[in-house]
Structure 1
């Protein structure tokens, strides 16, 4: 039984280009009690590998968190498979605003301790007592109310390229960092203000809303389906769009354009730009914002040092990387000291 990828990302990319078939980028999550995550993981991999589904999926005792690329012609088959799993029947699927056949190039289904790294001890509060889910219409009404505090539950590199007007955007690297910061900042408004939260697809708010209710916040709301679903409803119902810029996404597209405003700047020259890239030096791979002019000048790299390494023959680059780890740079995500105009 095959329970792993046989093709490399480059081989898969070539196959997708040759096929030229439409694919749908989809995300969903569900908190549920899964007795044997490893067995469930294998069940998903076998089924989705056969259906030509690609993506990154986390499974844990507490549920599932999935970002996927599904062949458009097999969507009904994919949906029927989900409906055959009792806790995923009729699950809301967040379908991307902008599609790309190469949003994912491998199928990775991983067992984790949690489907979201939140740093919380779930035994200390009732995770089912969550905030009220609101659609785009109700969300717009709430954030127009002067008694509402709107909070972005995403990280700094996400909010930098797009966010809702008037939102508090904590300057954090991880979701777990934001929880105590937000609580401390809003401790004087626990009973008198509406706490309205949003994130990319809703999963971060799902846990955060229950946590904040446990911590004494009385009026807690969350944008159902996150920015992805909000953008869809705004377009379908011709509503006022209160989001500006791009929505950062965790696949090869890196972002979806929600509006035409460019609210970020190139981290190297300061020009208006909201395009995230990874440094071309594989020993660095730093995520940062780079404009086309700097990309050409720097050969797609974040620094002169990386540019020099990237210009070396590939075998020399491999030799320099041998035995070294680049995690520290990867997780700086735009905060590297080499970036003059970082946020």
Structure 2
């Protein structure tokens, strides 16, 4: 019985091109009590592999967090399978605004201690006592209220390319870093201000809202479905779009445009740009913002040193990075001194 990938990313990419079929990029999450995450993980892999689902899915005792790509022709079968699982029946699916058939190239279903790395001891508070979910229309109304404090629960590299107007955007590398910082900064407003939070798809706000209520915040709200669903509702209902720039996404697209504003700059030359790339030197792989001119000049690399290494024969590059790990750089992004124009 196949429980893991048997094709490389390149092999899968070729099959997708050959098939020429439309795929949908989807994300969802659900907190639930899962008795045996490994059995559940294997169940998902077997069924989703048959439907040619690709993506990155985390399963834990506390629930599931999924970003994936589904062939459009298999969407109904995929939805039927979700509905056959009691705690996933009618779960909200965030469908990407901008589609890309190659947003994911492998199916990875992993068992984790948590579906969201938050650094919290969930036993100290009720994670189900969460904030009020609001739709796009109510969200727009709330953030115009002078008694509202709007907080972006994402990381620095996400908010750098796009965020809501007048939002507080913490300069943090991880979600867990932001929790205590935000609580400390907003200590004086726990009683009388409305705390309104947003993130990409809603999962970070789901946990943060319960945490901040536990910490004494009286009026806590979260944008239901996150930026992804907000953009869809704003478009469908002809609402004013209060998000400026791009929404960072955790797949090969790295971002989807919500407004035409470009609020970021190339980290190498300072030119207006909001295109995230990974350094082509596999021993670095740093995520940063790079314009087309710099990409050409630097051969898709973040520095001259990486450019020189990337120009070496493949076997020499492989030998240089043997025994080294760079996974912490992949999303701990833009914190390199070689990036002259990183904010």
The TM tier, using the shorter chain, reads over 0.9
**Residues of 1 paired with 2:25 and 2:106: CA distance?**
13
**1:140-163: per-residue Cα shift (whole Å, max 9, x none)?**
000000000000000000000000
Is the 1:191–1:217 contact (alpha carbons within 8 Å) kept by the matching residues of 2? yes
**Residues of 1 paired with 2:221 and 2:243: CA distance?**
17
1:20 matched to 2:20? The reply is yes
Relative to the length of structure 1, the TM-score reads 0.99
How much does 1:328 deviate?
A: 4.5
Q: Specify every segment of 5 or more residues in structure 1 that has no aligned partner in the other structure, as ranges.
A: none
**Residues of 2 paired with 1:199 and 1:253: CA distance?**
18
1:206 corresponds in structure 2 to 206
1:264 corresponds in structure 2 to 264
The 5 Å alignment of 1:1-343 reads 1-343=1-343
Give the secondary-structure state (helix, strand or coil) at the position aligned to 2:146: coil
**Residues of 1 paired with 2:113 and 2:276: CA distance?**
29
Give the secondary-structure state (helix, strand or coil) at the position aligned to 1:40: helix
Give the secondary-structure state (helix, strand or coil) at the position aligned to 1:109: strand
**Residues of 2 paired with 1:242 and 1:170: CA distance?**
19
How much does 1:331 deviate?
A: 4.5
**Residues of 2 paired with 1:328 and 1:213: CA distance?**
31
**Residues of 2 paired with 1:269 and 1:61: CA distance?**
46
How much does 1:25 deviate?
A: 0.2
**Residues of 1 paired with 2:194 and 2:18: CA distance?**
51
**Residues of 1 paired with 2:329 and 2:132: CA distance?**
38
Q: Specify every segment of 5 or more residues in structure 2 that has no aligned partner in the other structure, as ranges.
A: none
**Residues of 2 paired with 1:306 and 1:197: CA distance?**
38
Give the secondary-structure state (helix, strand or coil) at the position aligned to 1:12: helix
**Residues of 1 paired with 2:322 and 2:229: CA distance?**
43
**Residues of 1 paired with 2:55 and 2:84: CA distance?**
20
Is the 1:329–1:336 contact (alpha carbons within 8 Å) kept by the matching residues of 2? no
**Residues of 2 paired with 1:194 and 1:165: CA distance?**
16
**Residues of 2 paired with 1:240 and 1:322: CA distance?**
51
Residues paired across the two proteins, number: 343
How much does 1:323 deviate?
A: 1.7
Give the secondary-structure state (helix, strand or coil) at the position aligned to 2:340: coil
Name the Cα RMSD after superposition. Answer: 0.7
